[in-house]
Amino acid sequence: MKEHDTSKFHLEGKPPLKEALPLGLQHFVSMIAGNMVPAMLISNIVGLDKQMSTMLMQGAMLVAGIATLLQLYSIPLFKGHRLGSKLPVIMGTNYVFLGACLSVAGKYGLKALFGAQIGGAIVVFFIAFGIKKIRHLFTPIIAGTMIACMGISLFPTAVKNLAGGEGSATFGEPINFAIGLIVVIAIILLMKFGKGLVQDAAILIGIIFGYLVSLAFGLVDFSAIQGTPIFSFPKPLAFGLEFRLDLILMFAILFMVAIADMMGAATIATMGAMNREVTDKELESATMGNALTSIIASVFSSIPTGVFGQNAAIVAINKVTSRFVLSITGVVLILVGFSPLLGAIITTIPSCIIGGVTLIVFSSIAMAGYDMISQCGFTSDNNLIAGVSITLSIGITSVPQTLEKFPEIIRTLVGNSCIVSVFIVAMIIKYILSIKSNKSNDIKIEA
């Protein structure tokens, strides 16, 4: 009879609950703040009331839990294809889509946003069957350029929230900046001097600290909590669906970009804990599973899912790959998703605190991209790919009126998401430079 594997360092290992529970909760504490921020930003930009904002919070937590469990255990399809990679990863809201989601939600409404997400997810599901043929497109310089651009494009969102939230009666008040910057300083100190769980939960602790300061200044409104039930099932399709071809095309491209993001985050876990790269089959399965959970996310009023990089880093550091341990995080997320009360409490967090948090998060995203670019080397070709792509993409999305005389589909694709434009521009420049390189090689051979 085969002996039961209790090792937390094996994928199939099932350590005792007293050992697994704190390790699983560590992942939950590390990602809960980052997972809820996109829902809060979308609620603010659309101007949702507290009840509807709570629904977005619930959806973000519920879907993150479902996505995590699907990636950990997977569902077999046919001929070796699977939904979910079976890799030791934690899933959550995907920041690759955040800029586009904020833009689309603000311009076209939530029903158009969720319809576009579903359409884009369906497209990438079928693209996943040929993942081996397109994986070479996502070179480190392309991925680094996209990630850097993604972080930079979100800087204005962070500053607007730091000022109190666009449209707020207290927008620009010095007290908002003061509290937001207190949160920033607290998080920096925790990241620098904290150890273990304290360091991993720096953002969450920073939010709690900022919340207590806000309470002292009377900036917290508890009206949203009154009469909110403790448990209820999130309402599916609460905002309806609208399918626009131009938005679906934009999200299909974003889902392509998300493949590179997912590959990078998952590789952090596999290289750190398992000493190997993510295989083509695992990337295919991860993409298919992510497409499904992104559709579910749209049904429950959340943005698409992706691998959480900070949790992948935890796996790489502590080497704990047990699916049982990581599944605890998924189960807790699902349970939290059934609690409107917790979602309502989250909506009472002042925008200036979210501004402080996103200042840290978005700058970290940008610097992670620059780090990838630097590892590729600052050659003339890499400088052109990264520099021109980021400058043009950020420039256009910062001044969208420059596209007013272009067809609507171009305005939608390029004007609403710098990730789409940076991907297209970077690929074009890379192709042009490869032609030059090939010609140089031909000349050397002839000589």
Q: Please give the model's pTM, rounded to 2 decimal places.
A: 0.83
Residue 270 belongs to a domain:
yes
300: DSSP letter: T
Q: Which long-range contacts (CB under 8 A, 24 or more apart) does 167-175 make?
A: 167/44, 167/47, 168/351, 175/217, 175/219, 175/352
Residue 217 belongs to a domain:
yes
Residue 1 belongs to a domain:
no
Range of the domain at 358: 17-440
Judge whether 391 and 221 are in contact, CB under 8 Å: no
The number of domains in the chain is: 1
Judge whether 32 and 39 are in contact, CB under 8 Å: no
Joined together, the tokens standing for residue 249 give: 């095309």
Taking only the tens place, the pLDDT of each residue in 111-127 is 999 999 999 999 999 99
Joined together, the tokens standing for residue 36 give: 């809820």
Among the listed residues 311, 235, 309, 228, the one whose alpha carbon sits nearest the alpha carbon of residue 59: 235
The residues near 79 (Cβ < 8 Å, ≥ 6 apart) are: none
The residues near 322 (Cβ < 8 Å, ≥ 6 apart) are: 7, 8, 9, 10, 11, 12, 13, 14, 15, 20, 88
pLDDT of amino acid 2: 52
| CA 303/CA 306 separation, integer angstroms | 10
Compute the Cα dihedral for 372, 377, 382, 387 and give only its sign.
positive
Residue 10 belongs to a domain:
no
Largest CA distance in the chain: 82
Residue 352 belongs to a domain:
yes
pLDDT of amino acid 30: 80
26: DSSP letter: H
Are β-strands 305-307 and 75-76 bridged in parallel, bridged antiparallel, or unpaired? Answer: unpaired
Residue 5 belongs to a domain:
no
Among the listed residues 49, 34, 73, the one whose alpha carbon sits nearest the alpha carbon of residue 331: 73
Poorest-confidence range of 56-70, 241-255, 327-341, 400-414? 400-414
Residue 446 belongs to a domain:
no
Q: In the structure, what pLDDT confidence band is assigned to residue 435 with cuts at 50, 70 and 90?
A: confident
Residue 11 belongs to a domain:
no
